[in-house]
Homo-oligomer: A and B are copies of this chain.
Amino acid sequence: MMKLLTRDTDYAVRALIFIGKEAKRENRMVTVDEIVRALKLPRALLRKLLQALSKSKILNSGKGKRGGFSLSKDPRKINISDIITIFQGPVDFTNCLLRNAPCPNRKICRVRKKILSLSRYVDSELKKITLASLT
């Protein structure tokens, strides 16, 4: 099946929405276990995802007791394209390979041109889907 969001991206977005909500209500760190209870995601996997978001500066993290995660910036400045980029690489539909080598027609190919502009449109739309717009 064709998909734009893989499971990692999907789960990460769900978790971010939850963290955003909780952090707004009470000003505090949200732990992995809270998210697991609320969203029923696999714990080990979620930990890995949140660690990646933390490395990518989307989340702040605190170790030790009272530790956890919180958004590192305004939810209006976190968008789906960013999250996809972290887990799936940049939103770019043009691969243009011929037997694992770059296709010689890259420059002139009309298919490429059309797919490229579609790709740019999709990315710009995904950038408009912010965490704030989902909450």
- A residues contacting B by CB (< 8 A) are 1-5, 7, 10, 13-14, 40-42, 80, 84, 88-93, 95, 97-99, 110-111, 114-115, 118-119, 121-122, 125-126, 129, 133-134
Contact A95 B1 (CB under 8 A): yes
Contact B134 A125 (CB under 8 A): no
Contact A90 B134 (CB under 8 A): no
Q: How far is the CB of A42 from chain B (nearest CB, A)?
A: 7
Known contacts A2-B84, A2-B88, A42-B99: A114-B93 contact under CB 8 Å: no
Contact B4 A93 (CB under 8 A): yes
Contact A3 B95 (CB under 8 A): yes
Contact B89 A2 (CB under 8 A): yes
Q: How far is the CB of A12 from chain B (nearest CB, A)?
A: 11
